[in-house]
Amino acid sequence: MIQYSLRCAADHRFDSWFQSATAFDKLQAAGMVACAVCGSTDVTKELMAPRVNHGAAAPAPAPAPQKPRLSEPASPAEQALRALREHVERTSEYVGRDFAQEARAMHSGDTPHRPIWGETRGEEARALIEEGVPVAPLPFLPTRKAN
């Protein structure tokens, strides 16, 4: 990008930015460079001095934020989710794809009540709820499927 100081035939002075010197020349030849005050397309470049930094050091770039390792939760929500997973895995039995069958058996009294978790299809989960079997979805997959 380049900034030019410009002046129109009516002696209005203004600045404008262009992609390059060539871009300015093409736009001016096409009549697309117009005075910001009066709209005249009779515009010329003014004599300009280059911009030079006078010893002021550029500010140091901000340090990049630390990225967490993939094995560590990055946010409080992820930490809470990890804690929930650990609690469920520690305090209940994983019954896998037999979840619906096991939940029904406990609900009907055919097997003793115990905390279980597992997997089932959406329509099967809806059927359990309609039958009055207390179930709730978990916000994570079994460890073996979580990569």
> Could you tell me if 127 and 135 are in contact, meaning their C-beta atoms sit under 8 angstroms apart?
no
| Percent of the chain topping pLDDT 70 | 82
Whether the pLDDT of residue 117 is over 80: the answer is yes
What one-character-per-residue DSSP string does the chain give? Answer: -EEEEEEETT--EEEEEES-HHHHHHHHHTT----TTT--S-EEEPP-PPP---SPPPPPPPPPPPPPPTTS--SHHHHHHHHHHHHHHHHSEEEETTHHHHHHHHHHTSS----EEE---HHHHHHHHHTT------SS--GGG--
pLDDT given for residue 67 in this prediction: 65
Q: What per-residue confidence (pLDDT) applies to 35?
A: 86
Whether residue 68 contacts residue 82, with contact meaning beta carbons closer than 8 Å, is answered with: no
Poorest-confidence range of 1-15, 55-69, 114-128, 132-146?
55-69
Share of the chain above pLDDT 90, in %: 41
Asked which of 21-30, 56-65, 69-78, 122-131 is least confident by mean pLDDT, the reply is 56-65
Q: Are 19 and 1 a contacting pair, CB within 8 Å?
A: yes
